[in-house]
Structure 1
Amino acid sequence: MKYEWKKQDKSFYLPQAKPELITVPGFNYFMLEGSGNPNSNLFTEAVAVLYSLSYAAKMLPKKGRLLTEGYYDYSVFPLEGVWDLTEEGRQKDVLDKDELLYTLMIRQPEFVTADLAAEIIKMVKLTKPHVLMEKAIFGKVEDGLSVQMLHYGSYDDEPESFAAMEDYCMRNGLIRASKTHKEIYLTDARRTRPDKLKTVLRFKVNRN
């Protein structure tokens, strides 16, 4: 049976539009670190590189490449991003997108091991060469105890949802672990009106 993250992993990817507490286990990802404005060409190219790697993993059987033990059909997972600001950016009163730091990532199924990931990266370097491919890495990320919610609308309106999440923390004895946060993109900003975007917002917390 095909693994559908929208069905089997609803708690991680399809929360309600209100804050909730969740514990997220570790998952394996292809990742790329970057900085600067997410509206730049470099950001778009980084996203494309990650999808090239992710679809290469999914299409291994059709390419006649190795079939690792435990392979199963699945839907490619959504794009995720961990966001931060430079020290200079933190000092500014308004968000300067040029000061953003990010790690973009796409989750991979359990059968994608470190060795298999290395082979996939090597294969895609040959078929779809790109300078960013040299920076692609594979590893496990565990969000752990977190507060999350579904944000409807423009990315520029996310502060309203973050305010609701901060208020939830105050009322439930939780402390935000850091200023970084994760976004999971359920819609494609290139094909979706800003007011129709759906984004999971999540940050790590500790109990007070």
Structure 2
Amino acid sequence: MTDKTDFKKTLDGYRAQRGGFRALDVPDTGYLMVDGHGDPNTSPAFAEAIAALYPVAYKLKFASKRDLGRDYVVPPLEGLWWAEDMDAFTTARDKSRWDWTLMLMVPDWIDRAMITAAVEQAGAKNRPARLDDVRAETLAEGRCVQTLHVGSFDDEADVLARLHHEIVPGRGLRMTGKHHEIYLSDFRRAAPGKQRTILRQPVTAAAASSAS
């Protein structure tokens, strides 16, 4: 019987502390991804993206255990979020203006052929509406700052404002990539007040101001 890897326990990127803002270097990571736009609470595309990602992820898990002898817990759902005006996240919270990419991490021992086969298998019966939108891509974030938020998503604004406007510039950094959330709790089941979400922001060193 093979050991089952739980990436939430083994990968440094899934560690964060409530109230603490930790800098870390995130390695390039492979994901299954689906893009979308709009309010995640009301957009049919958001629920359809989740419904397309998980069948592929579970087909990969079963194939890995069967063919490679490597079993693992399907990693937590993750999301990249952005808007033309990033204040849509921290002040206005206008969710209709949000763009997003939902993601499930793919272990580094799984190759493209296995992913292609998993997508085909996921569509063999009860084909998900957005299955054709599922793609495999490597995300390169590099240096990041992250923290743990406990509570509802609508209570993230103050934490994000502190991260964006206080923590990042206060450390001589500037934001570079998309806002990244990792849902350690299943938000379809967990009570809003108990949801545990890692909030991550890719950063780079701020350019030194030139003398006038």
Classify the TM-score, shorter chain: 0.7 to 0.9
Q: TM-score, normalised by structure 2?
A: 0.86
C-alpha separation in 1, matches of 2:150 and 2:86: 29
Secondary structure in 2 aligned to 1:175? Answer: strand
Could you tell me how far 1:75 is from its partner in structure 2? Answer: 0.9
Q: In the TM superposition, what whole-angstrom CA distance separates every residue of 1:158-193 from its partner, at most 9, and x where no partner exists?
A: 121113323222221111115x30000011222212
Alpha carbons 2:52, 2:129 under 8 Å: kept: no
Give 1:6's aligned residue.
8
Give 1:190's aligned residue.
188
Give 2:174's aligned residue.
175
Counterpart code for 1:162: L
Alpha carbons 1:35, 1:100 under 8 Å: kept: yes
* Structure 2 gap segments, 5+ residues each: 207-212
Q: In the TM superposition, what whole-angstrom CA distance separates every residue of 1:60-80 from its partner, at most 9, and x where no partner exists?
A: 267x6xx2xx55111110000
Q: Assess, with a 3 A threshold, how the Cα gap between structure 1 residues 86 and 112 changes in structure 2: closer, same or farther.
A: same
Could you tell me how far 1:16 is from its partner in structure 2? Answer: 0.7
Q: Residues 7-46 of structure 1 correspond to what in structure 2 (within 5 A)?
A: 7-9=9-11, 11-17=12-18, 18-40=20-42, 41-46=44-49
Alpha carbons 1:71, 1:111 under 8 Å: kept: no
Q: In the TM superposition, what whole-angstrom CA distance separates every residue of 1:129-160 from its partner, at most 9, and x where no partner exists?
A: 12300111011112210110001111111121
C-alpha separation in 2, matches of 1:173 and 1:94: 26
Could you tell me how far 1:3 is from its partner in structure 2? Answer: 1.2
Q: May I ask how many residue pairs the two structures share in their alignment?
A: 199
Which runs of structure 1 show a deviation greater than 6 angstroms over 4 or more consecutive aligned residues? none
Secondary structure in 2 aligned to 1:28? Answer: strand
Could you tell me how far 1:89 is from its partner in structure 2? Answer: 8.7
Counterpart code for 1:131: A
Could you tell me how far 1:95 is from its partner in structure 2? Answer: 2.3
Alpha carbons 1:89, 1:99 under 8 Å: kept: no
Alpha carbons 1:31, 1:138 under 8 Å: kept: yes
Q: TM-score, normalised by structure 1?
A: 0.88
Q: Residues 79-90 of structure 1 correspond to what in structure 2 (within 5 A)?
A: 79-86=77-84
Give 1:99's aligned residue.
97
Could you tell me how far 1:87 is from its partner in structure 2? Answer: 6.1
Q: In the TM superposition, what whole-angstrom CA distance separates every residue of 1:20-72 from its partner, at most 9, and x where no partner exists?
A: 1111001111110011110133312211211111111111267x6xx2xx551
Report sequence identity in percent: 32
